[in-house]
Structure 1
Amino acid sequence: MNYDHAFHAGNHADVLKHLVLLALLDALARKPTPYFVLDTHAGQGEYALQSRQATVTGEAADGALRLAAWSKGRTALSPALTRYLDAVAPFLAAGRYPGSPRLSAARLRPEDRMACCELNPEPARQLKALFARDPRVGVHQRDGYGALKALLPPREKRGLVLVDPPYEAQLAEFDQVIGALRDGLARWPQGIFALWYPIKLRRALAPFFRRAAALPARSVLLAELMRHADDSPLRLNGSGMLLLNPPWKLDQALRQALPELAQAIGDSARGWHLEWLRQESG
Structure 2
Amino acid sequence: MFAYRHAFHAGNHADVLKHIVLQQVMQYMMQKDKPYWVIDTHAGAGIYSLASKEAQTKGEYLQGIARLSLQDETDPAIVAYLELLTRINKDHGYACLDGQYPMYPGSPLIAEYLLRADDRLRAFELHPSDAPLLEDLFHKHKQVKVFAEDGFHALKALLPPPTKRAVILMDPPYEIKTDYDKVVQAVREGMQRFAEGVYLIWYPILPRADYRRMLDGLKKLSDKTLNVSMQVQAPNADGFGLLGSGVFMINPPWTMTATMTHTLPRLLEKLAQTPDASYSLEQGAALA
- Find the aligned partners of 2:79 and 2:38 in 1 and give their Cα distance: 22
Give 2:106's aligned residue. 99
Contact (CA 8 Å) 2:13, 2:271: kept in 1 or not? Answer: yes
Secondary structure of 2:82's counterpart equals helix
Shift in Å, 1:149: 1.7
Residue 257 of structure 1, aligned match among 255, 263, 281: 263
1:269 corresponds to which residue? 276
Could you tell me how far 1:279 is from its partner in structure 2?
3.0
| Residues 199, 230 of structure 1: 8 Å contact kept | no
Distance 1:121 1:205 in 2: 26
Residue from 196, 202, 222 that aligns with 1:190: 196
* 3-state DSSP of counterpart to 1:264: helix
Q: How many residues align?
A: 275
Residue 161 of structure 2 corresponds to residue 154 of structure 1: yes
User: Which structure 2 residue ranges, 5 or more long, are not aligned?
Assistant: none
- The CA distance in 2 between the partners of 1:247 and 1:114, in whole Å, is 19
Q: RMSD between aligned alpha carbons?
A: 1.8
Looking at structure 1, the residues matched to 3 and 258 of structure 2 have their Cα atoms a distance apart, in angstroms, of 38
Contact (CA 8 Å) 2:180, 2:210: kept in 1 or not? no
Letter in 2 for 1:7: F
How far residue 67 of structure 1 moved from its aligned partner, in angstroms, is: 1.7
Residue type at the aligned position of 2:172: P
Q: State, as a whole percentage, how many aligned pairs show the same letter.
A: 38
| TM-score, length of structure 2 as denominator length | 0.90
Q: 1:145 to 1:264 in 2, by over 3 A?
A: same
For residue 115 of structure 1, the aligned residue among 122, 125, 130 is 122
In the TM superposition, 1:1-282 aligns within 5 A as: 1-68=2-69, 71-74=70-73, 77-90=74-87, 91=89, 93=96, 95-170=102-177, 172-201=178-207, 203-215=209-221, 217-229=222-234, 233-266=239-272, 267-276=274-283, 278-280=284-286
Please, which moves more after superposition, 54-63 or 119-128?
119-128
SS for the counterpart of 2:51 is: coil
| TM-fit CA distance, 1:201 | 2.2
Deviates more, 1:53-62 or 1:88-97: 88-97
Distance 1:211 1:204 in 2: 11
Aligned-residue offset at 1:203? 5.0
SS in 2 for 1:125: helix
Quote how far apart the aligned CAs of 1:281 are: 5.9
Alpha-carbon deviation of 1:237? 0.3
Q: CA deviation at 1:89?
A: 2.4
Cα distance in 1, alignment partners of residues 271 and 146 from structure 2:
33
Report the CA distance shift for 1:150/1:204 in structure 2 as closer, same or farther (over 3 A): closer
Distance (whole Å) between structure 1 residues aligned to residue 285 and residue 81 of structure 2: 26
Q: Which moved more, 1:161-170 or 1:204-213?
A: 204-213
Please list the CA deviations of residues 186-218 of structure 1 after superposition, one character each: whole Å capped at 9, or x if unmatched: 111000000110101275544323222101x35
- The one-character-per-residue Cα deviations of 1:223-278 (angstroms, maximum 9, x if unpaired) are 002211379851100000010110112111111111110000124424211111x2
CA distance in 2, matches of 1:73, 1:167: 35
Contact 1:225 1:239 survives alignment (8 Å): yes
CA distance in 2, matches of 1:130, 1:206: 35
